[in-house]
A = this chain, B = another copy of it.
Amino acid sequence: MAQKCCKCKCAVSELHKERLNFQPVLPSVLKKGIANVKPVLGKATKSVADFDKIKAIFEKTYGMPVVSFQAGKNAVVSKKAIKVGVVLSGGQAPGGHNVIFGLLEGLKNANKNNKLIGFLGGPSGILDNKIMEITDKVIANYKNTGGFDMIQSGRTKIETPEQFEQAKKTILKNKMDALVFIGGDDSNTNAALLAEYLKKENTGVCVIGVPKTIDGDLKNEHIEASFGFDTATKIYAELVGNIERDVNSARKYWHFIRLMGRSASHITLEVGFKVQPNVVLIGEEVLAKKMTLGQIVDDLAKLVVKRSEMGKNYGVVLVPEGLIEFIPEMKALIAELNDLLAENEAQVAKLNSVDEKIAFISKKLPKNLASLLNSLPKNIAAQLMLDRDPHGNVQVSLIETEKLLIEMVSKKLKDLKKAGKYKGKFSTINHFFGYEGRCGIPSNFDANYTYALGYNAAALVLNNLSGYLSSVKNLVAKPSDWKCGGIPLTMMMNIEKRKGKEKPVIQKALVKLNGKPFKEFAKVRKDWALKDMYMFPGAIQFFGPSSVTDITTKTLQYEQK
């Protein structure tokens, strides 16, 4: 316990200490050294939709080819030392520190005088020029650790012309040759816009993105996974598996477990594969089938009755946190509430109780939505009235959808009992897992993947491929066989309305109902519902048999099949 972590002065745990000594595996192609890989250009690319609009916005960076790195002497990589900035943007995801670790080692591999500068506290660090140099000594305390505490992150967006200008000033003032943005879909959208801006301004500054998010919603054929998804889903699966073992032992509770993941249900589906619970709700399916809250509740109640008739008054239900937004009627209600609360902010703020607020807003709602709002359990209606996020949207993680379902299923079952159609017992326990998984020690997969993403980002920087997203693929193979390269950020874009205005944004990758993972799930879920096919994955293992330590996600396995 003697070893100290230099910055926070805290003693470190035994596992923490061990992980500081882990050396991630580099894909063979990058192992040859940055000067010995060359970018091979593919065909020109298109945005996923709205080609003309996207092209008009990204005059300088639209349509660039996919790039793959292959062995070969590289004449482009400059001999002169360069200076690169790096920033973490948005919510934490396991592996962020290793992106920076890989980036530093990639830069040093090309020229030991290359420098890496971290912007502190997220993109606001760029606007305010808050920086610190990231040296080998600094990184030594953060290798293979969770969290973003080395330089911290933030949610400030760089998106206005004034902000782009300010960012340019900071970058030029610091004599930086490149900037690496580690972020999710929104952050990488802004990275793309900044890349375009800096190219238009002829700064020669290269902007590279790295795909981060535990939610798994930033992906396509070249970005097989965003980092953090593997670790977060393993942590949630450990917990849900433990609960299933408890359920299978006690056999007296229905556990309703909500999982983080924002809109997309990738996390819930992946955890579902890992633990095989009785029910896995998928928001994207609810949307596609235009299901009402009442239908979801009826389906759940039916299963509770059926299992009860089999003598099983217990079960496990996984609920994605984004579910509520996918129920068309709830989506409409939330959208109306977003607008009404914004329009009537001052008046609503004056009202003292939640009841008064609900009554005030109900009068302004269309009739059907007012009656929906008033049919909800009181606590859930209150949560829908809570403060919005900076974009004016409801904060889904604050809505206890699992409790909503419990209350409504419970009510339904009472009616069925009165009608003599149900004789069972419905005792429930609810959970929400989110923060527990965002800063876990990255799994071996995520430690290797993020290190490779960072090292690869250095290669993109040194080849001056501005506007590219770091792409490391073939992820179901072993790390040495992973393929490296980059894809143009514009390739992932379409036009969406944000606050009433058309904006270019990276399209969120939702669960596809015709995709292999969902299809696999659809095949087996009936068995999961009635038979108890619970699986208990246990804690993430960093040492031991490769069958245990090197498991990739089921999502990847099915997608890459």
Contacts and interface: CB of A to CB of B under 8 A. Distances in A.
A15 interface: yes
Number of copies: 2
A560 interface: no
Interface in A198-249: 235, 238-239, 241-243, 245-246, 248-249
23 contacts: A10-B533, A11-B276, A12-B535, A13-B274, A14-B545, A16-B538, A18-B545, A92-B245, A146-B242, A146-B536, A147-B246, A147-B248, A149-B248, A149-B249, A239-B239, A246-B438, A379-B379, A441-B538, A539-B539, A539-B541, A541-B542, A541-B543, A544-B544
B245 A235 contact: no
Interface string A254-266: 0100000000000
Interface string A312-331: 00000000000000000000
A540 B548 CA distance: 14
Interface in A136-180: 145-149, 152-153
B539 A9 contact: no
Interface stretch (A429-437, A449-457, A510-518): A429-437
A342 to B, nearest CB: 21
Interface in A418-445: 429, 431, 435-441
A551 interface: yes
A538 B438 contact: no
A92 B437 CA distance: 24
A106 B241 CA distance: 31
| Max chain B Cβ within 10 angstroms of own Cβ: one of A274, A438, A440, A551 | A440
A335 to B, nearest CB: 25
A290 interface: no
A8 B538 contact: no
B250 A536 contact: no
Nearest to A546: B14
A512 B58 CA distance: 68
A531 interface: yes
A214 to B, nearest CB: 11
A19 to B, nearest CB: 8
Contact of A92 (B235, B250, B531): B250
A8 B245 contact: no
A264 to B, nearest CB: 20
Given A152-B251, A246-B92, A429-B435, A441 B539 contact: yes
Given A255-B435, A435-B242, A544-B18, A249 B92 contact: yes
B544 A9 contact: no
A468 interface: no
A245 B442 CA distance: 12
A528 to B, nearest CB: 10
A532 interface: yes
Given A13-B241, A14-B545, A149-B249, 13 more contacts: A8-B533, A11-B276, A11-B533, A14-B548, A15-B539, A16-B538, A92-B249, A147-B246, A148-B250, A235-B242, A541-B542, A542-B544, A543-B545
B243 A436 contact: yes
A182 to B, nearest CB: 13
Contacts of A255: 435
A250 B148 CA distance: 8
A12 B10 CA distance: 39
Interface in A363-405: 379
A74 to B, nearest CB: 36
Given A15-B537, A145-B536, A8 B439 contact: no
A544 B545 contact: no
Contacts of A347: none
A237 to B, nearest CB: 9
Contacts of A235: 242, 539
